[in-house]
Chain A
Amino acid sequence: QVQLVESGGNLVKPGGSLRLSCAAPGFPFSDYYMSWIRQAPGKGLEWVSYISNSGNTIYYADSVRGRFTISRDNGENSLYLQMNSLRAEDTAVYYCARVDVYSRYYYGMDVWGQGTTVTVSS
């Protein structure tokens, strides 16, 4: 069964660090781009980052660039998000998602995890 399972969310103080993980059993993980998306309490969706299947291409939202690092381990079928210098505005549910490519050009996030909650507060 295709699924994504996030972990690592927690309560952390401003300025602290956290590492999120996303386990991806059930499909050929190394064939897919992957992405992180977050949702602040009561708010909409915000794309955070994506990484190509090989890990060679990475993009970040301006709001996290320089503080967050996306990575993957294709041997372990896992995606990661290292979050440093955390701020109150990083408080959100963080989702990992599989990125499918349709007709070679059109990217869509077709499988999502259940989310993991990050709370940044003193």
Chain B
Amino acid sequence: DIQMTQSPSSLSASVGDRVTITCRAGQTIRIYLNWYQQKAGKAPQLLIYAASSLQSGVPSRFSGSGSGTDFTLTISSLQPEDFATYYCQQSYSIPWTFGQGTKVEIK
């Protein structure tokens, strides 16, 4: 199984801040990497697919980058509705695996 490791596990930030979350795969996954946002008590929502492609309807302040084993999700200017938990997920091989999540909290 491919292990996905996110850092940090949590962070505190203010509205307007630039936020970066990192995801590292245990082996190369090329660009088979997705990012999801999950708000408390809600289902996850796909933000980014194929490492850097923005899902339809997702605000452009979200961006993804990386390939191989190292990936980044960036929120360029944090908005109140962005406080949530973010997960990376690889679709390179079965079983699909998720990172442990990064909780973005209000400072």
Contacts and interface: CB of A to CB of B under 8 A. Distances in A.
Interface string B91-107: 10011111111000000
Nearest to A96: B43
A112 B34 contact: no
Contact of A106 (B32, B43, B45, B96): B32
Interface centre among B36, B55, B94, B96 (most CB of A within 10 A): B96
Contact of B53 (A44, A47, A102): A102
A47 B95 contact: yes
A17 to B, nearest CB: 23
B44 A62 contact: no
B46 A110 contact: yes
B29 to A, nearest CB: 11
B49 A45 contact: no
A50 B95 CA distance: 10
Contact of B98 (A47, A100, A105, A112): A47
Given A37-B44, A106-B32, 8 more contacts: A35-B96, A45-B44, A45-B89, A47-B97, A102-B50, A109-B46, A112-B43, A114-B43
